[in-house]
Amino acid sequence: MAIEHFMCPRNIGNMVNADGEGTFGDPECGDSLTVFIKAENNIIKEISYLVFGCPGSVATSSMTSVLAKGKTLEEAQKITEEDVIEALGGLPEHKRHCSLLGVQALRKAIDDYNIKSKNININK
Catalytic residues: 29, 98
The CA distance from 65 to 102, in Å, is 8
CB of 94 closer than 8 Å to CB of 54:
no
Of 70, 47, 65, 75, give the one whose Cα is nearest residue 101. 65
The CA distance from 22 to 43, in Å, is 17
